[in-house]
Amino acid sequence: MSSIWFCCPSFLSQSIISCPAKFAFSVSSAATIDHQQHSYLANLAKPSINLRPFLAPRGLRLSERLLVQCSYLYSPNLQNETRLVYSFFRQIGLQDKEIKFILEQNPSLNSTTFDSIRARVFLLQSAGIKGVELYRLIMKCPDVLTAAEIDSFFHFVLNSLQGKIEPLQLKRLLATTEPRFLVGFDRKVKLLLDHGVPQEKLVHILNNVNLTKALCFKSIEEIDRSSTFLCRYGGINLIVRRPMILNFDLETQLIPRIEFLKELSGGDEEATRTLLCKLPAILSYSVDHTKGHVELLRSFAGLTDPQIFKIFLVFPNVISASKERKLLPRIGFLKQCGLSSDDIFKFLTKAPLFLGLSYEENLVHKLVVLVKIGYEYRTRDLAVALGAVTRTSCENLQKVIGLFFSYGFSSADILAMSKKHPQILQYTYTSLLEKMEYLIEGMGREVGELLAFPAFLGYKLDDRIKPRYEAKKNVIGEGMSLNKLLTVSADRFSAEKEKSHP
């Protein structure tokens, strides 16, 4: 078989064109090709050949490169070309009427050789655009089969980027971008590397941006200016964590959005940088959107700009909370509970999740539990308790209440303890269980002592409670004050310990 390939290239070329399936069989099992296949292929051979230079697109599999290279060795006549184009397009899934429409609407296809069309299709397939997606792409943008810019673009994608760009990402790009905008794509990508994008993060970025907006429609100068500007506010870190930032226009989007946040911070560029690094996605929101949230917090909650910015720093996702469904009713609830503007500020900096949690799936269940243990609705105490339990799940809250009941506490006891130390409602069930067991079994104390000092449950068992108790039990005895034992500073405790052990 190999002697036929080298001695009669037109034989191979015409065989490939006329019967690609048999050629595929020949490539995979040339050693076992039978006499009948030799006869069939020989009957298709043409006596005349037309040798001309060829170069298969890089990135193709070996069998496809052989096929493309060999197809350049022969040029059939125009009638045969049309027949082959129809046959080839049918294999892709196009109907005759669709093929006819494409050829009529795109004259460049009629002047393009079948060899070139087929080579381009193989190129698209090698990048992962196959099946239905290939069919849809050709139907929508048949110029992908003829545009000269496609070859150099895919050469870069398949070789320099190792073919790691997702097929659907490439398909979206080709379907929405004129081929002329693909020129310079490689230089723009390399510019990102020059600005510090780690090589291992490059493909991640390219797979998570709108390639048309981020690169193709922008000049190298625009990309350079955007990257340089962002360097003051987190730069490459922002881009790696939120690649779609590259989609935004520098003059009309990035600069106005960042400047508004900077103005809100009082001109503090470092604080603005901190905010952006905490939530790069905040740059996805327009100035008008952010202004709307700021104005609501100013007018309805009575907060100052520094207070609003501090809330943004603590909980940047406040920007994504719906004004109508979350901000207005929840701030309204706090005002009904008697909280002043300063109280609301303190509440939101300590319990910012109050603005983000679902009411139906989270907050309402916690409110029911709090009311059941004795909290009165629309009171300051209820607001404080609700703020504390935003940091725990509904399931954990119920288990914590059940644990207190199992140790003999009443609802009134739990209410009294949580008013003194609201955090006991947010501690994990397992942590509370360990501390209560140690209080009773390890220290020999009564669980009722928690009524006077519920903050005991907030100290770390292994780091503070056990070491201090072991250090003091032989000096003070079992009747030592839990409050004094745990609230004394580390320095003072060490000094007292040294005095008792000269």
Chain segment 85-118, per-residue pLDDT in tens: 899 999 989 999 999 999 888 888 888 889 999 9
Residue with tokens 């779609």: 244
> Tell me, what DSSP letter sits at residue 446?
-
Q: What is the pLDDT of residue 60?
A: 52
CATH 1.25.70.10 residue window(s) in the chain: 76-183, 389-501
DSSP element (H, E) containing 209: none
Q: What is the pLDDT of residue 22?
A: 39
Q: What is the pLDDT of residue 4?
A: 33
Lowest mean pLDDT across 251-265, 427-441, 481-495: 481-495
**Spatial CA neighbour of 225 closest among 205, 255, 183:** 255
More confident residue, 74 or 114: 114
Phi, psi (degrees; rounded to nearest 5) at 431 = -65, -45
Question: Which range scores top for mean pLDDT: 38-52, 394-408, 465-479?
Answer: 394-408
Q: What is the pLDDT of residue 105?
A: 85
Read off the amino acid at residue 167.
P
Q: Residue 55 above 90 pLDDT?
A: no
CATH superfamily of 76-183: Transcription termination factor 3, mitochondrial (1.25.70.10)
Q: Residue 44 above 60 pLDDT?
A: no
* Gap between the terminal Cα atoms of the chain: 99
Q: Measured between alpha carbons, how far is residue 486 from residues 48, 222, 430, 457 in Å?
A: 99, 60, 21, 11
pLDDT 10s digits, 414-448: 999 999 999 999 999 999 999 999 999 999 899 99
Q: What is the pLDDT of residue 494?
A: 64
pTM listed for this prediction: 0.76
Yes or no: is domain 389-501 CATH 1.25.70.10? Answer: yes
Contact (Cβ atoms closer than 8 angstroms) between residue 60 and residue 68: yes
Pairwise CA distance, residues 421 & 221, whole Å:
58
**Spatial CA neighbour of 424 closest among 404, 446, 395:** 404
Contact (Cβ atoms closer than 8 angstroms) between residue 93 and residue 128: no
Q: What is the DSSP string of 72-121?
A: TT----HHHHHHHHHHHHHHHT--HHHHHHHHHH-HHHHTS-HHHHHHHH
Q: What is residue 481's three-state secondary structure?
A: coil
**Residue 415: left (phi > 0), alpha (psi -120 to 50), or beta?**
alpha
Contact (Cβ atoms closer than 8 angstroms) between residue 478 and residue 449: no
Residues 6+ apart with CB under 8 A from 336: 378
What are the start-end ranges of the H helices in 129-246? 131-140, 149-155, 167-176, 185-194, 199-206, 211, 220-230, 235-241
Using only C-alpha atoms, what is the Rg of the chain? 36
> Tell me, what DSSP letter sits at residue 423?
G
Q: If pLDDT is split at 50, 70 and 90, which confidence band does 252 have?
A: very high
Q: Measured between alpha carbons, how far is residue 191 from residues 162, 179, 201 in Å?
A: 18, 21, 14
Lowest mean pLDDT across 1-15, 257-271, 421-435: 1-15
pLDDT 10s digits, 169-196: 999 999 999 999 999 999 999 999 999 9
